[in-house]
Amino acid sequence: MRQLLSGTAASRGSALGRARVRLPHALDIEEVRIAPEDVEAETARFHDAVTEVRHEMRELRDRLHGALAQEVGEFLDLHALLLDDPELLSGIETLIRSGLYAADYALRLQRNRIAAVFEGMDDPYLRSRIDDIDQVIGRLHASLHSHRAELQGASGEILVTDSVAPAELAQLQAQGVVGVITAGGSPLSHSAILARSLHLPLIVGAPQALIKANDGDVLVIDGATGQIVLEPDAADLQDHHARVAQARQERRQLNRLRREPTRSLDGVDIKLWANAETREDVIEAHALGAAGVGLYRTEFLFLGSCELPDEASQFRAYRDAVLAMTGRTVTIRTLDLGADKADKTGLALKDEPNPALGLRGVRLSLAREGLLHTQMRAIVRASGYGPVRVLVPMISSGEEIALVRRTLDAVRAELQAEGHGMAARIPLGAMIEVPSAALSLSSFIRDCDFLSIGTNDLVQYLLAADRTNDALNALYSPLHPAVLRVLRDVVRIAQRHAVPVTVCGEIAADPVFVPLLLSLGLTELSLHPATLLEVRRAIRSSHLGQLRGAAPALLRARSRTAIERWLDARSIAPP
């Protein structure tokens, strides 16, 4: 019988398929005891499962690539650390040895013990971390029964589950899963960001779907509205096919924009840069007509190896990216690594109490002797093959950008003396993502050739709200009056000193936010290639003069609701 359910739209697209219902974290395991003589074998079975799961996660980590692999890898790295947690492992082994419990039931008991501790915490963020424990426990349970721990799907299915980790989404799509519904989650989560990049329809916050859907039921989901239809009727199917046809037509129209200028209705050119991490990302950016690479992440070189990448390997990667852009500028961000993205070399600290506020970004580069120097040598050498800019993350004061400038100048002198070719000029820019950098920008902007506003971290730090914490969904948003005023101030200072400024992060990749960004005076955006054509279309449908005229009303808004109303009044409907 037809039922209409709803959730929160997280990734656009319409999907029709059979439900595959999974409760990956529900370990409904009966108590099973073992004989004393079986303890050693059961303990070995458990440790074999731990070893297998470690191998699975390494394999999955190695398969990840592309601009969002960094985000996905964070979760795998965290889960790998949990697998080494003595509280988890020794507790399970003690239950096997002392309680004579089978490994499966010991897993359940230990999970429940840890969950009780987490649930008693006052901090909602820490309470939400039980999801990570559940992911690891689920993998171990699957390994004990000799089947793969990742969520399994089949072609033409829509997965209905309590939650889905970012690392699993790409695998699900490769298996043919056409959509995902989760009981929890946020449209601002890492999983939602990755789903949008993959163009995989995703609806979050739909607990009723988990209760009412059964394996094999037919579902229609609309990732643009959050609507779910269980056992659709003829009219629902007709609506779905119409949306799919419209999406195909829209994609064809977007493809025509590959070589069209990114120009507003009143004739103002806007620069669209691409974020990239691999040479393949750079090639895609070139094919889509990006003005250049506005953010080339270098972390992937450091995360995949047990040894620090040397100058030669870094140089080859940067040179290949520069060559792939055939004369368009590549902006190489220096290492943005920290305990939240712990590497295998031990370069980043692993036990920082608050990694988001710890030794990361430029702080790490300046603290580790030779790290910045080696990376700068590789970048400067790559500049001999095409235009390059250097972008420095996590700047909090002018002293840091001055130290990086000093290193860049020293490296240029060294390489010139060694006879290496290089660009006559290599612009140096600062990422504005720490509030102190935004507030003190006037004091050091003369030391910057360009700026890039990292909105993801800037919003997080301004609002003291972790964007990965579902409990803070209502608070974490770029549509906060304080965020808009900081953006406006940074843009004004940059304009006053004739310093180019780009905005990157999720706000730049969403065509809905185009009117807001243009009204604040931004004329350069850097975004993932997956949404570049949609943003270009939104810009071509915008009148810059009218939006600038409406900026005072936007900045007078006192609430997120008022800002949303401003945006709704200027929404750009696809043709």
Q: 10 Å Cβ neighbour count for 457?
A: 22
| Torsion 551-557-563-566 (CA) sign | negative
The C-alpha atoms of residue 546 and residue 560 are separated, in whole angstroms, by 22
pLDDT of residue 86: 72
Cβ atoms of 290 and 272 within 8 Å: the answer is: yes
Dump pLDDT digits (tens) for 502-529.
Answer: 999 889 999 999 999 999 999 999 998 8
Question: Which is the catalytic residue, given 25, 141, 504, 528?
Answer: 504
pLDDT band per the 50, 70, 90 thresholds, residue 497: very high
Token code pair at residue 432: 């504005």
Top-confidence range, 76-90, 296-310, 352-366, 388-402: 388-402
Which tops the pLDDT comparison, 530 or 275?
275
Nearest alpha carbon to residue 365 among 391, 330, 384, 344: 391
Domain ranges of the chain: 3-24+151-252, 36-144, 258-569
Nearest alpha carbon to residue 123 among 549, 465, 500, 494: 465
CA angle 448, 451, 454 (to 5 degrees): 140
- Min mean pLDDT across 129-143, 281-295, 300-314, 381-395 is at 129-143
Q: What is the DSSP string of 105-173?
A: HHHHHHHHHHHHHHHT-S-HHHHHTHHHHHHHHHHHHHHHTTS--SPP--TTEEEEES---HHHHHHHH
Question: Tokens 């988001």 — which residue?
Answer: 356
pLDDT band per the 50, 70, 90 thresholds, residue 339: very low
The model's pTM: 0.70
Provide the 8-state DSSP code for 454: E
The C-alpha atoms of residue 516 and residue 153 are separated, in whole angstroms, by 39
Phi, psi of 110 (to 5 degrees): -70, -40
Residue 504 annotated among the catalytic residues of the structure: yes
Instruction: Answer yes or no: is pLDDT of 324 > 90.
Output: yes
Question: Tokens 């992911």 — which residue?
Answer: 135
Question: Tokens 């990840």 — which residue?
Answer: 64
Q: 10 Å Cβ neighbour count for 88?
A: 21
Token code pair at residue 31: 């108590």
Annotation: CATH topology of 258-569 = TIM Barrel (3.20.20)
The C-alpha atoms of residue 398 and residue 446 are separated, in whole angstroms, by 10
With a CB cutoff of 8 Å and minimum separation 6, the contacts of 410 are: 373
Percentage above 90 pLDDT, the chain: 53
Q: 10 Å Cβ neighbour count for 517?
A: 27
pLDDT band per the 50, 70, 90 thresholds, residue 31: confident
Name the superfamily (CATH) of residues 36-144.
PtsI, HPr-binding domain (1.10.274.10)
The C-alpha atoms of residue 57 and residue 570 are separated, in whole angstroms, by 45
> How far, in whole angstroms, is CA 298 from its chain's centroid?
15
Using CA atoms, how far residue 449 sits from 106, 326, 330, 392, 452, in Å, is 59, 22, 14, 12, 11
Token code pair at residue 200: 């995989």
506 SS3 class = helix
Q: 10 Å Cβ neighbour count for 243?
A: 20
Instruction: Answer yes or no: is pLDDT of 337 > 70.
Output: yes
State which H helix or E strand residue 83 sits in: helix 69-83
Nearest alpha carbon to residue 453 among 398, 499, 406, 519: 499
pLDDT of residue 103: 87
pLDDT of residue 28: 55
Residue 191: left (phi > 0), alpha (psi -120 to 50), or beta?
alpha
Which tops the pLDDT comparison, 296 or 197?
296
4 SS3 class = strand
pLDDT band per the 50, 70, 90 thresholds, residue 74: low
pLDDT band per the 50, 70, 90 thresholds, residue 16: very high
Dump pLDDT digits (tens) for 229-276.
Answer: 999 999 999 999 999 998 888 888 888 888 899 999 999 999 999 999
Question: Which is the catalytic residue, given 190, 240, 480, 528?
Answer: 190
pLDDT band per the 50, 70, 90 thresholds, residue 290: very high
The C-alpha atoms of residue 380 and residue 298 are separated, in whole angstroms, by 14
Length of the chain: 575
Dump pLDDT digits (tens) for 109-137.
Answer: 888 887 777 666 655 545 555 666 776 77
Provide the 8-state DSSP code for 512: G
CATH architecture, domain 3-24+151-252: 3-Layer(bba) Sandwich (3.50)
The C-alpha atoms of residue 261 and residue 149 are separated, in whole angstroms, by 46
Which runs of consecutive H residues, i.e. helices, occur in 421-529?
Answer: 435-439, 441-444, 455-463, 481-496, 506-509, 514-519
Residue 448 annotated among the catalytic residues of the structure: no
- Relative to beta strand 3-6, strand 292-296 is unpaired
pLDDT of residue 341: 53
